[in-house]
Amino acid sequence: NSAALTLLGGSVAAVVVWKWLGRKMIQKKMEEARKTRDEGLKKMAKAVQQFREQVPSAQTDAILSLPLLGLAERLREGSLSPKTVLYTYLEKVSALEVNQQTNCLRHFIPECEEQLQEIQRQKEKGLLYGIPVSIKDHIGHKGHLSTCGLVQCLDTLMKEDSVLVKVLKRQGAIPFVMTNVPQSLFSYDCSNPIFGQTVNPFNHQRSPGGSSGGEGALIAGGGSILGIGSDMGGSIRLPSSFCGLCGLKPTAERLRWVLGIWHIHLLNVGICSCPIPVPCALGPMARDVDSLALCMRALLCEEMFRLDPTVPPIPFNSKVYCSSTTLRIGYYDTDGYFPLPPCMRRAVKETRSALQAAGHQLVPFSPPRIPYVMTELFFKTFYADGGRAWLDVFTGDIVDPSLKSQVNSCKIPRLVKKMLALLLKPLVTIPPPLKHVGMISTCRSVKEMWNHHHEIQVYRSEFITQWKELHLDVVLCPVLGPAFTTGYAGKLLTAISSTMLYNVLNFPAGIVPVSTVTEADEEELKLYQGCCDDPWDRKLKQAVSGAVGMPVAVQCVALPWQEELCLRFMKEVETLSREK
């Protein structure tokens, strides 16, 4: 007996030591990654200092205040040099007011200086000639990591530029920084154990949104004029809402990029089957709608279609974007699933009134069966295997606190999940919706997975039929906001119904800031009970309280492949809100 106890004790000790050594190895990798980032930022600051010594009279404030269209025009005509513009933005990023306050950067791209030389050798000036562009962490850039905030992704450098980066460079843009993301990208906060928490530039106790949160914080803080994000549940639109930016999620197939480490891993573990039922879309983020339109016009070019034949060769239709015909606009201020705070519903009502006064037709519209879409279509796509594939990406990693509740939900034994799903399924589609059952829906067989794909197609057809019956051009609707206090997003995953819907549908959708939170909004928030005053409604109330002065936005939607019409509608909303 004593020998057995000694052996058992030795085995336990060995396991403890092995785990301790593994954790030390993880910590060492993370420290090395942070050190590499910090050294890159120091190089950036040194390069800026050297430039300032050579050109002390550069008009920093004048350059930073130019909108993208104005800046592009000055660069193309030669009254501003690409070098001056690049170093002006590098200085803004490296200065105290942006990165050191928000922690928005994942890495500086030193090759931006090589690209600076390259564009001067190009025979023709591209549409983005000399424009510094920031890109989200997981968009592949040659010689750099694509981390997704995961330790397991710290060993492999990208061997080539993604298609998107190649096209940006061909159009004369200069990718100069990569921005921070939440761990695994599957969060609408922006925190990971390697590079830490990114915060909102307008209030450092609040989140910038996610997963393109680094982009949101950097652009809103004035450190970038144009950024590229990605969106699979709201990851462009939520940071745009939280940070007061314009952002566009196109139809997913309108733009493509070479698979990064994250997507290759998902293919390996089977979570991304083909076709992907809820595809990830890539799109621009900026300070105004014209910037988004210029970016889309630049990207939808022959070079994109040549490099990636799977992208339909549909150039940007400027005629549709510049049109001034009256629109027939559907609208709603709640989807009936997760009622949003008073300020977000106010934004829709005020925008609706402004559009009506401008001569457009406004028609009430009610999106069908949102509880069913959330539980049976959206979450079932990502947790079809009970979340096992997603849990695999955390192997040999430390789970970020913002994701612990999601990770713990996935760790519930499969049999328990099946029992809960069977017991609660009849209650999912009847009010009040059960917001906590989203992560227990699973597909129990390949046949059920194919049925799931079919159900998504059926729902898309139903939604389009309802849209067509009302003869709508576009739809105006709310978006989640204002910016949450940090730490709440992970506890309110199902609050993203307003954005998630248009990922399931694969419709183009964009965000336009139209207002800010007022004292009156705060007073009305005190009476907010959500759908049924359940724990999730109360948590949402806590997440958004105290947000006076924070941006308030609306969401603009069009049918698939109609990005130009979506942007045209966004431009109309932007113009009316600025006039107001």
- Residue 212 is among the residues annotated as catalytic for this protein: no
Instruction: Quote the CA–CA distance of 325 and 364 in Å, as a whole number.
Output: 20
Look up residue 340 and give its two tokens: 């949003």
Angle between helices 289-299 and 563-579 (to 10 degrees): 160
- Residue 187 is among the residues annotated as catalytic for this protein: no
For residue 329, which phi and psi values (nearest 5 degrees)? -115, 120
Single out the catalytic residue among 162, 187, 235, 240.
Answer: 235
Instruction: Quote the CA–CA distance of 463 and 80 in Å, as a whole number.
Output: 48
351 and 514 in contact (C-beta within 8 Å)?
A: yes
Instruction: Quote the CA–CA distance of 154 and 168 in Å, as a whole number.
Output: 25
List the alpha helices (DSSP H) in 300-341.
302-307, 318-321
Instruction: Quote the CA–CA distance of 326 and 355 in Å, as a whole number.
Output: 10
- Structure-derived torsion over alpha carbons of residues 271, 273, 277, 280, reported in degrees to the nearest 10: 70
192 and 161 in contact (C-beta within 8 Å)?
A: no
Residue 197 CA, chain-centre distance (Å), reads 16
226 and 133 in contact (C-beta within 8 Å)?
A: yes
105 and 41 in contact (C-beta within 8 Å)?
A: yes
280 and 232 in contact (C-beta within 8 Å)?
A: yes
- Residue 235 is among the residues annotated as catalytic for this protein: yes
What is the number of other CB atoms lying within 10 angstroms of the CB of residue 157? 12
Q: Is 325 exposed, middle or buried (0-12, 13-18, 19+ CB in 10 A)?
A: exposed
Classified as helix, coil or strand, 524 is helix
Closest CA to 300 of 289, 290, 310, 314: 314
Single out the catalytic residue among 92, 136, 169, 417.
Answer: 136
Closest CA to 333 of 532, 503, 552, 504: 552
> Is the sign of the CA dihedral 403, 404, 409, 410 positive or negative?
positive
66 and 133 in contact (C-beta within 8 Å)?
A: no
DSSP per residue, 209-234? -SSSHHHHHHHHTTS-SEEEEEESSS
- DSSP code at position 486: T
Single out the catalytic residue among 94, 191, 211, 577.
Answer: 211
> Is the sign of the CA dihedral 375, 544, 203, 345 positive or negative?
positive
Half-sphere exposure of 504 (CA within 13 A, CB side): 35
Instruction: Quote the CA–CA distance of 365 and 123 in Å, as a whole number.
Output: 50
Look up residue 210 and give its two tokens: 């996610």
Q: Which residues are catalytic?
A: 136, 211, 235
